[in-house]
Amino acid sequence: MPQRENLLNLTPDRAAEVLRAWMESHGQQAYRARQVLEHLYKQPVKGFAQMTTLPKALREDLDADFEMPGLEVATRQRSTDGTEKFLFRLRDGEAIETVAIPDGDRMILCVSSQAGCALKCAFCATGAMGFARNLEPFEIAGQVRALLMLDERPIKATNIVFMGMGEPLMNWKSVDVALTLLNSPDALGIGARHITVSTVGVLPGIVALGKRPEQFRLAISIHAPTDDLRQRLMPINTKFPLAEVIEAAKVFDRRVTFEYVMLGGVNDGPEHALQLARLAKDCAAFVNLIPLHPGGGQGFTPTPRGEIVDFARELRKAGVEVAIRKSRGMDIAAACGQLRAERVPRRSAEKVGA
């Protein structure tokens, strides 16, 4: 059997083209293509069988040529602060995590771009598990789509941050399409300014993101103000050293955020604040200080709260805009850098003998 085309891996424009051509070759009217499109994201359904605005025979014919695979929720955990963590099981048995963070009237979804991560940042749990594979576009946007279709308490994202598992700019081909799916009014319809791509500083990816006309936001994980120190914390620094990352941030045509995880006695001294301030001012970056969350690499302790506040004050004095990130979902290990999906058995395996 020829492989069915995955409609959820196509941009809305491409899907419309493909569906219109298919309708025409099947003697169907063009408006039927639009009806199918509506059911991909705007009124999402789990399969063609649920597209009840279409005649049954047409649904069956569509199902023979196309697929629209959803992501299967393996577990859902809820924190006392309302944050929820989802573990999705993928078709090949890999697993990824997504975190939903309610914040006032916003609902921030922290999405994964890869199963695992190759970068091995010293303090990060995902880094410790290693790299499995890149996600496809439907697996990235599908995290947002799946939460819209939960039977119980469905979740509608208002903001997206690519701060789950993986390095999004090392999977640009899929992230590029996923950004369109997240943003397009014909798909998930989330404003570009409400979508943030977070990267260790993958230069070609930053350039590619900057070339997109939409105002997607960029956050760069800096974590150390000198190459020496950054190299120790983030091995990728040998490939993309600080000076080049800062240069890329400068030419990026929108305001960039620096992420800086506070590691007790490692990168949190007054001299680091001054060095960081210089870098941030050089490219007019906003600085986000992140309290270290447990569960990452061994050997690090969080900077005490009071010292984070002092560090922020130093930056502010030097003329840098800075915020301290709130820690959310700590009791369910759903905070930054704590995502490390468990390998979940496939359902078929679980059900053997049942």
Are 302 and 261 within 8 A, CB to CB? Answer: no
336-350 b/e (C-beta count within 10 Å ≥ 16 → b): bbbbbbeebeeeeee
**Could you say whether residue 290 binds ligand SAH (CB under 6 A)?**
yes
The verdict on whether 97 is a catalytic residue reads: yes
Report the helix count and the strand count for the chain, using DSSP H and E.
12, 14
CA 69 – CA 81 distance, rounded (Å):
32
What φ, ψ does residue 210 adopt, rounded to 5°? -65, -25
Spatial separation of the C-alpha atoms in residues 120 and 124, rounded to whole Å: 7
Q: Does 200 bind ligand SAH (CB under 6 A)?
A: yes
Site string for ligand SAH, 107-146 (x = CB under 6 A): --------------x-xx----------------------
H/E stretch holding 27 = none
b/e burial code for range 193-230 (CB count within 10 A of at least 16 → b): ebbbbbbbbbeebbeebeeeeeebbbbbbbbbbeeebb
- Shortest CB 197 distance to ligand SAH, Å: 8
Contact window for ligand SAH (CB under 6 A) among 53-61, 74-82, 131-139, 197-205: 197-205
Q: Which of 167, 186, 268, 314 binds ligand SAH (CB under 6 A)?
A: 167
Q: Among 188, 292, 312, 344, which residue sits at the site for ligand SAH (rule: CB under 6 A)?
A: 292
Given the residues 110, 121, 283, 336, the one annotated as active site: 336
- Nearest-5° Cα angle at 339, 333 to 343: 105
Q: If binding is defined by CB under 6 A, does position 328 make contact with ligand SAH?
A: no
Q: Which amino acid is at 178?
A: A
Give the nearer residue to ligand SAH in terms of CB position, either 84 or 167.
Answer: 167
Q: Which is closer to ligand SAH, CB of 68 or CB of 209? A: 209
Q: Does 222 bind ligand SAH (CB under 6 A)?
A: no
Size of the site for ligand SAH (CB under 6 A): 17
Residue 337: CB minimum distance to ligand SAH, A: 2
Query: With respect to ligand SAH, which residue has the nearer C-beta, 272 or 293?
Result: 293
Interaction between residue 83 and ligand SAH (CB under 6 A): no
Q: Binding to ligand SAH by residue 336, rule CB under 6 A? A: yes
Q: Is 29 left (phi over 0), alpha (psi -120 to 50) or beta?
A: beta
Contacting residue, 94, 97, 259, 314, with ligand SAH by CB under 6 A: 259
Among residues 97, 136, 167, 314, the one annotated as catalytic is 97
Residue 87: which of 346, 344, 345 has the closest Cα?
A: 344
What's the min distance (Å) between Cβ of 94 and ligand SAH?
17
CA distance 239 to 195: 26
Binding positions for ligand SAH, rule: CB under 6 A:
121, 123-124, 163, 167, 198-200, 221, 259, 261, 290, 292-293, 296, 336-337
